[in-house]
Amino acid sequence: MNSILAIAAKITGFSIISFSRFITAVFANWDGVRPSRRRRIYFANHVSNGDFILLWTVLPPPIRKLTRPVAAADYWLTSKLKAFIGRNVFNAVLIDRNRDTRVLDPMEQMLEALDEGNSLIIFPEGQRNTTEQMLPFKPGIFHLAEKRPDVELVPVWIENLNRVLPKGEIIPIPFACSVTFGAPIHLQDGEDKQTFLKRAETCVLNLSPDAGNNHD
């Protein structure tokens, strides 16, 4: 059974990657950073349900195997098909967003994944954002940087995916997309939470083609 699931996951993953590239013609820009198998936290803007799929797609296969998206359990566990894709294809870290009912601590789940040698894909805004300005970053990325200072934090800008799969839509519209990776950052000595979060947010914004227009 496990071997059958593994084969099915591999075929499904290949199909998702092929479809994503066909619809979006997506390409990766490595700006100030190179692909690496070392542990990283890729943190990106969040405009669509397809964000992590696109980011995951453009990673080189050896790195993709070691990279786990952090995703909402209440979305990915609503059907057997979604659960299979989330768990077996993406190997996602599925977190319960309901503080009152969850059993596992999301921070501990992410730290455990890092300690197992994996990289993570996270969206610090905490929810999809369709506005021109980014939402303030949630503190999770700060705590990850604080608890695992040796892990590189790589800012990522995903361009145009909101046009391919707008919020509320299920049928994608063909549109060229890009994923830009920036230079890694770390928590600096003595840097407080708000200063770090603002710096991390700025690093993502600076990767946007409209970077000059994104700042207040």
- 81: which 2 tokens? 């098909």
- Helix/strand/coil percent split, the chain, to 5: 40, 15, 45
Q: Which residues of 130-144 are buried (b: 16+ CB within 10 A; e: fewer)?
A: eeeebbebebbbbeb
- pTM metric for this prediction: 0.91
pLDDT digits (tens, 9 = 90+) for 163-205: 666 666 666 667 788 999 999 999 999 999 999 999 999 999 9
Q: How confident is the model at residue 44 (pLDDT cuts 50, 70, 90)?
A: very high
3-class DSSP state of 23: helix
3-class DSSP state of 1: coil
Taking domain 3-206, whether its CATH number is 3.40.50.150 is answered by no
- 122: which 2 tokens? 């996270």
Domain locations in the chain?
A: 3-206
- Between 6 and 163, the more confident residue is 6
pLDDT digits (tens, 9 = 90+) for 94-149: 999 888 888 899 999 999 999 999 999 999 998 888 777 889 999 999 999 999 99
| Residue 34 pLDDT exceeds 90 | yes
> What pLDDT, on a 0 to 100 scale, did the predictor assign at position 1?
57
